[in-house]
Amino acid sequence: MNRFFRSSSPFKLSPAWMTFSYIILGIWTFIVLFPLYWLIVTAFKQPLDVNAGPRFLPFIDYQPSLHAWQEMLIDSGPLFVLRPYFNTIVVGTVSALISLVIGACAAYALSRFDYRPKRGLIGVFIGCVALVAVISSLGVPWIIAAVIGAAVFVLLALTIGQRFKATMSNNDIAFWLISQRMLPPVAVILPIYMVFQALGMLDTRQGLVIAYCAANLPIVIWFLRDYFQSIPFELEESAFIDGASRYQVLLRIILPLAVPGLIATFLIVLVFSWNEYVLALFLTGADTQTMPLLVSAQNATRGPQWWNISVLVMLMVGPLLIMAVVLERYIAKGLLVGAVKG
């Protein structure tokens, strides 16, 4: 009996702890996978079966049906699901790729260069941006307002800017970037809507891509900065000695070594863009709406159409699950590298 609670090695669990661990993992696996199972069985139910209460066993509790699939994919018209699905794929993929490219360059710069921007100049810049907004609200064209704001910033930077002494470090810059994600989108959606309306970019995929890139770029920079810091700097020094330029080092050494981190970050950002709702709600119209909007539209006057919602959610999560399974080894490595430093 004592052997059941004793371990034969410090690096092995005792049979008791191993049994307890498997029980906990089994319970957690059930908690995670059961909602997905419930989603699948609901997608193959008739409305009467859904409203009759919990029924989980096909062919025993209920007879499976393709009613919801026919209603969504055939009866509603070919573009009813295809258009938002196409918009979701295009906007999510393009915005994630652009965020990854720009964020990788910014993260590499923050991990290898030492920046010391003056806090006073940052405050002056914010004030000039506010000045541009005020001038534009008075009816002045935004291009002229931007030129005026830039001229004022240059004038102040050359005069009083020399007196500012306090500076920010790379860690301060990184924290400021990730702090942009702490603000909920609903708090800034009104000014974003007004800017996009003035630029004529409402109800366009391009506008949604720009908005998603701005929202996801801080996450990319935050993740990849830690990943790049885990890559030994001695590799770059050796390349510099051999005559490689900074861009050659980034493209031929750093990025190939950072492939797991790049893939993991891309999938995380893609999931955020794929499921984003608030920005899509305000910035899109009938031609550019995405799948989250179509899913929410199934909560109609008759109440939530759970069978239709299940079909649409299965179509949404399907590609992401396939990508996660195929790229699982890259995701695990990308998330763990950099967790232990020193």
| pLDDT at residue 226 is higher than 50 | yes
Query: What pLDDT is stored for residue 333 in this prediction?
Result: 65
Q: How confident is the model at residue 335 (pLDDT cuts 50, 70, 90)?
A: low
pLDDT of 337 over the 60 cut: no
**Does pLDDT of 212 surpass 70?**
yes
- Whether 162 shows a pLDDT value over 80: the answer reads no
| Rounded Cα–Cα distance for residues 182 and 89 (Å) | 26
CA–CA dist 298, 310 (Å, integer): 10
pLDDT score of 195: 83
Average pLDDT on 49-62 reads: 85
pLDDT of res. 272: 93
Highest CATH level, class, for 81-116+168-336: mainly alpha
> Cα separation of 333 and 263, whole Å?
10
Dihedral sign from CA coordinates of 174, 178, 180, 182:
negative
Residue 148 has pLDDT above 90, yes or no: yes
Q: Decide which of 193 and 137 is more confident.
A: 193
Tens-digit pLDDT profile for residues 288-303: 999 999 999 888 777 7
Dig out the tokens for 152 from the structure: 């004022």
pLDDT exceeds 90 at position 158: no
Beta bridge partners of 303: 300
pLDDT band at 340 (very low <50, low <70, confident <90, very high): very low
Check pLDDT > 50 for residue 35: yes
Residue 118's SS3 state is strand
pLDDT at 70: 93
- What ranges do the domains of the chain cover? 1-31, 81-116+168-336
Give me the mean pLDDT over the 193-213 stretch. 90
Q: What average pLDDT does this structure show over 307-328?
A: 89
CA distance 72 to 56: 22
* pLDDT tens track for 110-128: 998 888 888 888 899 999 9
Mean per-residue pLDDT of the chain: 87
pTM of structure: 0.84
Share of the chain above pLDDT 90, in %: 40
Q: Give the pLDDT confidence score for residue 341 in this predicted structure.
A: 47
How far apart CA 151 and CA 148 sit, in angstroms, is: 5
Q: For the chain, percent helix, then strand, then coil, each to nearest 5?
A: 75, 0, 25
In this predicted structure, the answer to whether residue 12 has a pLDDT above a threshold of 80 is: no
SS (H, E, C) 61-75: CECCCCHHHHHHHHH
Give the distance between the most distant pair of CA atoms in the chain: 85
Residues 334, 231: contact at Cβ < 8 Å? Answer: no
Cα–Cα nearest to 225, from 93, 116, 341: 341
What is the distance between the terminal CA atoms of the chain, rounded to a whole angstrom? 42
CA distance linking residue 259 with residue 263, whole number of Å = 6
Q: What is the DSSP letter of 161?
A: G
Query: pLDDT higher for 329 or 132?
Result: 132
- The pLDDT of 252-260, averaged and rounded, is 88
**pLDDT over threshold 70, residue 334:** no
